[in-house]
Amino acid sequence: MKQIKMGCTTLSIPAMALGIMRMNQKSVPEAQVAIQAAYDAGINFIDSADIYGGGKSEEIFGQAFSQMQIKREEMFILSKTGIVPGKRYDFSKEHILHSVDEILERMQLDYLDSLVLHRPDALMDPEEVAEAFDQLQAAGKVRFFGVSNFDVIQFKLLQSCLSQRLMFNQLQFSLKHTGMIDFGMHMNMLDESSIDRDSQFLDYARLHKVTVQAWSPFQYGMFKGTFIDNDGFPKLNQELQKLADKYEVGKNAIAAAWILCHPANIQILVGSMNPQHIRDSAKGAKIRLTRQEWYDLYLAAGNYLP
């Protein structure tokens, strides 16, 4: 598995992580198969959130992982907090501290390798968040911190009050969600693709050594479904299949390789619980697409160049 540097540190993490959002739909033995498939492929990084399956995903993970032969220190485990289902976002100190205790209990862990704030809270008090982070780190409950879906100003505002460096920002990115790179190639134009929707965070991340984690790498829209083998995207699937045949892998591997080809050292969050899909996606880390192949996929996905 390709390794990348985590944020501004010298620590290495795999270029792919296993997202367990759908683990609540699996039995404990099925969850173990998915975790083992990822681990065997070099994916020893887990991405979770307290709202996944209403907490059930973390419970299943905790039961499954506690019975496996993988050592805790061999796995990097990240979880997110801040979304209160159906009610609000909440970055209050009280909520953050309480959520971490519940996460650790569900996952049967003594500590998290990273805690990520899940989507921006309009009522965020950066100094209050800083107090929570300091307390969690001092107690040995969380090693590193990050955010999800923050723009540059939100990121800088929070960072200005923290004693820790933010390591991650989780952002949607795939062949069918390319806004982070579209506007740069359509600069100073008046078309839809010229709109900067994320305050140039990808370039900011490269300048300031923040690891961007790409969620929904095989999805289109907001959880509408996968574009892989989807009849609605014939041209894209034709191009994916052509390259899959060339590199002797599946389409997931090519879609993953497309993301990893970007020089920002993006980490992919693979949300599948299908061991075959996990193994195939992992193969994408070994593929280096040519520049022409990368652009051919970009165009086949329905994008255009000026």
pLDDT, one tens digit per residue, over 99-150 is 999 999 999 999 999 999 999 999 999 999 999 999 999 999 999 999 999 9
Within 10 angstroms of residue 165's Cβ, the number of other Cβ atoms is 15
Rounded CA-CA distance 64/56 in Å is 12
Question: Could you tell me if residue 149 is left (phi over 0), alpha (psi between -120 and 50 degrees) or otherwise beta?
Answer: left
> Token pair for residue 5?
């540097």
Cα distances (Å, whole numbers) of residue 6 to 24, 35, 225, 274, 284: 28, 21, 29, 27, 20
CATH class entry, domain 9-300: alpha beta
> Token pair for residue 275?
């061991």
- What's the pLDDT band for 298 if we cut at 50, 70, 90? very high
The pLDDT of residue 12 is 97
Kindly report, residue by residue over 211-235, the tens digit of the pLDDT.
999 999 999 987 789 999 999 999 9
List the end-to-end C-alpha distance of the chain, in Å, as a whole number: 35
Tell me the pTM.
Answer: 0.95
The pLDDT of residue 212 is 98
> Token pair for residue 124?
């965020």
Q: What is the dihedral of CA 58, 109, 271, 175, to 10 degrees?
A: 130
The pLDDT of residue 257 is 98
The pLDDT of residue 86 is 82
Rounded CA-CA distance 219/225 in Å is 5
Q: Is the dihedral of CA 70, 72, 74, 77 positive or negative?
A: positive
What count of Cα atoms within 13 Å lies in the side-chain half-sphere of residue 188? 0
Q: Are 84 and 90 in contact (CB under 8 A)?
A: yes
What lies within 8 Å, CB to CB, of 101 at 6+ separation is 141
> Which whole number is the average pLDDT over 77-87?
94
> Token pair for residue 125?
């008090």
Rounded CA-CA distance 207/36 in Å is 35
Assign 90 to helix, strand or coil. Answer: coil
- Report the candidate in 39, 51, 40, 46 with the shortest Cα–Cα distance to residue 17: 46
